[in-house]
Amino acid sequence: MSLLAASLSFASHDAAEAVGDQSDPVQLLEAVQRCAEKTLIFTQAGGIYVPSKYRTVLTFIEDSIHEVAAPNPEGIFHPKIWALRFTDDDGALHHRLIVLSRNITQDQAWDTALVLDEMPDSADEDQPCLDAAPAAEFLRALPGLTTRGLDRQRSRQVEDLAATLSQVDLMLPEPFSDGELLPIGLDGSDTWPFADMKATKLLAVSPFLSPRAVTALKDMTPGTSSNKRTLLSSPVALDMLGPAITEGWQLRVLPMTSTDTPDLTDREQEQPHVELETSNGLHAKTVVLDLPKRRSVIVTGSANLTGHPAWGRSVEFNVLLTGPTRECGVQAMLGTGAGKPGLEDLWESYAPALEETAAQQEHEAERKIEQWHLALASARPVLDVRATGETTVEATLRLDMPRAEIGTTMIWPISLTHHAKTLSSRVQWSRLSRLNVTPFLAVETTLGSGATRVTRRRVIIAELSGEIEGRKHAAFREIIKDKADVLKYLMLLLNEASYAELVAEMDLVDSSSTGLAAVDPGRIFEDFALFEPLVRAIGRDPETLVRISTLMEQLRAAPEAEDLVPAGLDELWSTVWAIHAEVS
C-alpha cells in the first residue's frame, strides 16, 4: 500500500499539489501504470506486510516487486535506498540517491533519511562531493540476488541506471566536507568503518544491538567517562544486553506509548541469526563520533549495531560523513545548549532489567518464524490457474516444502482474506473470480503457546502459471467502468488539471449532483477539453502519446468498446496520432 502512495507522488504533475487520493481508483490506476514499468523494488524474501485490504490496482505492480535473499545465509537483505533518475524537457539526466533507515511501509517508527543529489555542472570545482560509483555497483549486484531472476527488459533497466549513476558525483549537504558510500554484505567481506577511530565523545543510535558491537564502540573511547558515551536504543534491546555490557554508557530510550510494541531484537549468539524490524518507536541507525581536531564523523543508513562486531552478514547500505564538530558532532545532534531542539529533549533515561522479560522470551520464536517465512519465499512457490467457468477459475499452489517446518502456518491469496488454508505442498482454492487471482500470498505462522505464543503474518510471491491471460484487462475494466472514467484517465495521462476541476470550470457538472457521473462525455468534446492538450503533446511529449495509443488499442479491442469509447474520441485520436507520426 505504501508503494501505491509512492506511485501517486511520482505521477503528480505538480509537486506543490497534494500527493494524491488513494480512494480515487482512476487516479490511482493512472499513477501506478505511469510508474510501474519504470520502478523496480528489491525486497527481502518473505518480508512484505500483508495489506489490510486488497485492491485490484495491485495487479499492475506485480512485475515491479522482486524478492531477494542475502548471499550469506546467516543474514538478510536489509538496505533501504532509493536510486532515482529524472529527465528534463531537454533530455538532460539528473540523479538522486536517498539513503534511509526507513522501509517502504506505513510504520510509525522514528527513522532517518539522507538525500544526495547529483552535482550540477555549474557547481564550484572545490565543492565537496561523493563518488556515486559504489551505489552503481550495488545496483548491478541486485539482479543476482533475486530468488527468480529478472527478465531481459528489467535487467537492462538496472544496468542502464547503474551506468549513468556511475558517472556522476553527489553533492554533500552542508556542513559536511567529506564522505563515503558504504555498500555492505555483497562480497562476503566485513565492514566496520570505526576500526581505527578514537573518539572523545560518542552517540550511538540503534534499535537492535549485539554485545560485541556495543563493546567495540565502547573501546573506541578509552578513558572516556560515561557522560561522554550515549546509547539510544529500545528497552528490549537494552534489557537483552544487560547491566554488565551497558556499564559505562548513558542509556536512553524514546518515551513509549501504549501502542509501542517493538518487534524483534538481535541477541548475540554464535548460531546463525537474522536482523529483523520494528514498526514503532525507534528505527533509526546512526553513530556520531567526535574526533580530535574538532572533526566529527556520522555513519547512517540501514545497518543496526549488531554483528561480531563488524557488519557483513546482512546486505546493508550506509553512508559515512565528516564535518566540523560544532555543526555535525554529538552536541549538535543532542541539541544540548545549542538553542535548538534535539534528541535530548525527547528521550528518557533507562536501566536494563535484571531478569528476563516476556519480550525476551518471545524473541526466539519470532526469529524462527522470520527464518521460516524466508525459506517459504525462497522455495519459489507456483500458483497454477485453471478456468472453471466464464468468469471463475481454480487456483492450485505447488510448493516444495522446506525442511524443519515449524508451528502452524496458514496461507491464502491476499485477495481472499477469509479463505485461509493450512499450508502444505499442494493447496487449492476453487471457484475464484479472475479478479482474485494474485501472486501475492499471505502466510501466517503461529509458534508456541500460552504467554509465549507468537503469530507473525507476511506476504510471499508465487509464480503464476496456467490460464492467466486477460487478468490485467479484467482489472482495468473493474476500475474504468464507463466513458466518463476513460475521459478522466486520459486527462490524467496528459498531466492536465484534475478532471473534477476541469469539468467544474467548464460548467459541465449538474449543480444537483456532487459526482462525476453527471458529466456528459459528449459535451467535453464540444468544448475541446481533450483536443488542446493532445495537440500540445505532439512533438513535446511523445511518451504520453505512446501510452495513449496503447490505451486506445486496448479500448478498441475490448468487446465492450461501445460502452467505453466516447463518441468522437476515435476520430480525434486518429488525427492526432497521424500528425505525431509525421512530426516524429
Decide if 336 contacts 342 (C-beta within 8 A). yes
| Eight-state DSSP code of residue 309 | S
Question: With 80 as the cut, is the pLDDT of residue 452 above it?
Answer: no
Residue after which a domain boundary falls, among 139, 171, 203: 171
What's the half-sphere exposure (Cβ side, CA atoms, 13 Å) at 303? Answer: 29
Cell numbers at 280, concatenated: 514503532
**What pLDDT is recorded for position 395?**
96
pLDDT in tens, 194-215: 988 999 999 999 999 999 999 9
Question: With 50 as the cut, is the pLDDT of residue 88 above it?
Answer: yes
- By residue count, the chain amounts to 584
Question: With 70 as the cut, is the pLDDT of residue 479 above it?
Answer: yes
Q: Strands 113-117 and 65-68: what pairing?
A: unpaired
- Which residues have CB under 8 Å from 581's CB, separation 6+? none
Residue after which a domain boundary falls, among 136, 153, 171: 171
**What pLDDT is recorded for position 531?**
79
User: Is there a single domain that holds both residue 37 and residue 164?
Assistant: yes
Mean pLDDT of the chain: 85
**Per-residue confidence band for 496, with pLDDT thresholds at 50, 70 and 90:** low
End-to-end CA distance of the chain: 38
Question: With 90 as the cut, is the pLDDT of residue 67 above it?
Answer: yes
pLDDT in tens, 399-435: 999 987 788 999 999 999 889 999 999 999 998 898 9
Q: Provide the domain count of the chain.
A: 4
Phi and psi (nearest 5°) for 217?
-65, -45
**Per-residue confidence band for 453, with pLDDT thresholds at 50, 70 and 90:** confident
- Which residues have CB under 8 Å from 574's CB, separation 6+? none
**What pLDDT is recorded for position 537?**
85
Lowest pLDDT segment from 93-107, 198-212, 499-513:
499-513
pLDDT in tens, 133-159: 999 999 999 999 999 999 999 999 999
Cell numbers at 561, concatenated: 468498446
Q: Report the candidate in 204, 209, 259 with the shortest Cα–Cα distance to residue 231.
A: 204
**Per-residue confidence band for 266, with pLDDT thresholds at 50, 70 and 90:** very low
Average pLDDT over every residue of 317-324 = 98
Cell numbers at 33, concatenated: 501504470
Question: With 60 as the cut, is the pLDDT of residue 247 above it?
Answer: yes
pLDDT in tens, 560-572: 888 888 888 888 8
User: Is there a single domain that holds both residue 268 and residue 164?
Assistant: no
What burial class does residue 555 get, using C-beta atoms within 10 Å of its C-beta: 0-12 exposed, 13-18 middle, 19+ buried? Answer: buried
**What pLDDT is recorded for position 339?**
64
- Three-state secondary structure of 447-495: ECCHHHCEEEEEEEECEEEECCCCHHHHHHHHHCCCHHHHHHHHHHHCC
Output the domain CATH number for residue 258.
Answer: 3.30.870
Question: With 70 as the cut, is the pLDDT of residue 522 above it?
Answer: no
Q: Report the candidate in 281, 264, 282 with the shortest Cα–Cα distance to residue 273.
A: 264
Q: Report the candidate in 58, 179, 90, 82 with the shortest Cα–Cα distance to residue 138.
A: 82
**What pLDDT is recorded for position 338?**
55
Q: Which residues partner with 77 through β-bridges?
A: 315
User: Is there a single domain that holds both residue 149 and residue 194?
Assistant: no
Decide if 61 contacts 32 (C-beta within 8 A). yes
User: Is there a single domain that holds both residue 212 and residue 333?
Assistant: yes
Give one DSSP letter per residue of 482-520, joined into a string. SHHHHHHHHHHHTT-S-HHHHHHHTT-S-TT--SGGG--
Decide if 74 contacts 272 (C-beta within 8 A). yes
Average pLDDT over every residue of 541-554 = 87
Lowest pLDDT segment from 69-73, 156-160, 280-284, 460-464:
280-284
Of all helices (H) and strands (E), which one includes residue 406?
Answer: none
User: Is there a single domain that holds both residue 16 and residue 116?
Assistant: yes
Q: Report the candidate in 177, 172, 180 with the shortest Cα–Cα distance to residue 133.
A: 180
Question: With 60 as the cut, is the pLDDT of residue 358 above it?
Answer: yes
- Which residues have CB under 8 Å from 388's CB, separation 6+? 394, 430, 431
User: Is there a single domain that holds both residue 419 and residue 536?
Assistant: no
Question: With 90 as the cut, is the pLDDT of residue 457 above it?
Answer: yes
Residue after which a domain boundary falls, among 456, 472, 488: 472
Question: With 60 as the cut, is the pLDDT of residue 498 above it?
Answer: no
- Which residues have CB under 8 Å from 9's CB, separation 6+? 19, 20
Cα torsion angle, 390, 391, 394, 399, sign: positive
**What pLDDT is recorded for position 22?**
63
User: Is there a single domain that holds both residue 23 and residue 107?
Assistant: yes
Q: Strands 178-184 and 316-324: what pairing?
A: antiparallel
Lowest pLDDT segment from 64-73, 409-418, 480-489, 525-534:
525-534
User: Is there a single domain that holds both residue 271 and residue 415?
Assistant: no
**Per-residue confidence band for 335, with pLDDT thresholds at 50, 70 and 90:** confident
Percent of the chain with pLDDT over 70: 86
Structural domain containing residue 372: 361-472
Decide if 241 contacts 360 (C-beta within 8 A). no
Lowest pLDDT segment from 80-84, 287-291, 477-481, 503-507:
503-507
The helix/strand/coil state of 112 is coil
Cell numbers at 259, concatenated: 501502542
User: Is there a single domain that holds both residue 293 and residue 208?
Assistant: yes
Of all helices (H) and strands (E), which one includes residue 563?
Answer: helix 561-564
Question: With 80 as the cut, is the pLDDT of residue 518 above it?
Answer: no
User: Is there a single domain that holds both residue 269 and residue 315?
Assistant: yes
User: Is there a single domain that holds both residue 468 and residue 553?
Assistant: no
User: Is there a single domain that holds both residue 456 and residue 488?
Assistant: no
Cell numbers at 165, concatenated: 549513476
Long-range contacts of 534-539 (CB under 8 A, 24+ apart): 534/494, 534/572, 534/573, 534/576, 535/576, 537/494, 537/576, 537/580, 538/576, 538/579, 538/580, 538/583, 539/580, 539/583, 539/584
Cell numbers at 544, concatenated: 504520453
